[in-house]
Amino acid sequence: MHLFEYPWPELASDPTILGLLAETERGRGAWEAVSDGRAAPLSSMASDTRIMSTLASNAIEGIRTTPERGLAVAGGIAAPCTHDEREIAGYRDALTLVQENHGAMEPTPGLILQLHRDLYRRSGESIGGRFKDSDNVIAEVGPDGALSTRFKPVSASRTPDAVEELCRAWSAAHEAGGVSPLLLCGAFVLDFTCIHPFSDGNGRMSRILTQLLLLKDGYDAVLYSPLEAVIERRRPEYYDALQASSMGWHENASDPRPFLAFHLEALTECQQEARRRLEGRGGAPTSKGDRVVEFMAFHQGPFRKADILAALPDISEITVKRVLAQARRDGLLELLGSGRSSAYLWRGDVGRP
Q: Which of the residue ranges 53-62, 103-112, 210-219, 337-346 would you say has the lowest mean pLDDT?
A: 337-346
Question: Can you name the CATH fold of 288-353?
Answer: Arc Repressor Mutant, subunit A (1.10.10)
Out of 1.10.3290.10, 3.40.50.80, 1.20.120.550, 3.90.950.10, the CATH code matching 9-285 is 1.10.3290.10
3-state secondary structure of 149: strand
pLDDT of residue 284: 42
Closest of 304, 273, 109, 77 to residue 188, by C-alpha: 109
241-295, pLDDT tens digit by residue? 999 999 999 999 999 999 999 999 999 999 999 998 888 766 444 678 887 887 7
* pLDDT over 70, % of the chain: 95
Query: Positive or negative CA dihedral for 108, 111, 117, 120?
Result: negative
51-99, pLDDT tens digit by residue? 999 999 999 999 999 988 998 899 888 899 999 999 999 999 999 999 9
pLDDT of residue 352: 41
- Per-residue pLDDT averaged across 333-345, rounded? 82
**pLDDT tier for residue 37 given thresholds of 50, 70 and 90:** confident
Domain ranges across the chain: 9-285, 288-353
pLDDT of residue 351: 43
3-state secondary structure of 150: strand
Look at residue 235 and tell me whether its pLDDT is greater than 90.
yes
3-state secondary structure of 199: coil
- Per-residue pLDDT averaged across 22-40, rounded? 90
- Per-residue pLDDT averaged across 315-340, rounded? 89
**pLDDT tier for residue 39 given thresholds of 50, 70 and 90:** confident
* CA dist., res. 160 & res. 101, Å (int): 25
- Per-residue pLDDT averaged across 216-233, rounded? 96
3-state secondary structure of 334: strand
Mean pLDDT in the chain? 90
Closest of 129, 184, 196, 119 to residue 158, by C-alpha: 196
Q: Please count the CA atoms within 13 angstroms of the CA of 234 that sit on its side-chain side.
A: 20
- Per-residue pLDDT averaged across 236-243, rounded? 96
**pLDDT tier for residue 302 given thresholds of 50, 70 and 90:** confident
pLDDT of residue 300: 54
* CA dist., res. 135 & res. 41, Å (int): 47
154-195, pLDDT tens digit by residue? 999 999 999 999 999 999 999 999 899 999 999 999 999 999
Kindly report the number of other CB atoms within 10 A of residue 109's CB atom.
19
Cα–Cα distances in angstroms (integers) from residue 134 to residues 111, 156, 191, 243, 351, in the given order: 22, 5, 19, 22, 51
CA dihedral 36, 41, 44, 46 (to 10 degrees): -20
Under DSSP, the state recorded for 134 is S
> Could you please report the per-residue DSSP string of 95-128?
HHHHHHHGGG----HHHHHHHHHHHHTTTT-TTT
List helix spans (H) across the chain.
15-35, 39-60, 67-74, 83-101, 109-120, 159-176, 181-195, 202-216, 227-233, 235-246, 257-279, 288-298, 305-311, 317-329
Closest of 290, 286, 308 to residue 299, by C-alpha: 308
- Per-residue pLDDT averaged across 19-27, rounded? 97
- Per-residue pLDDT averaged across 336-349, rounded? 79
Cα–Cα distances in angstroms (integers) from residue 98 to residues 34, 183, 232, 287, 324, in the given order: 24, 20, 21, 31, 36
Cα–Cα distances in angstroms (integers) from residue 140 to residues 148, 151, 235, in the given order: 6, 9, 14
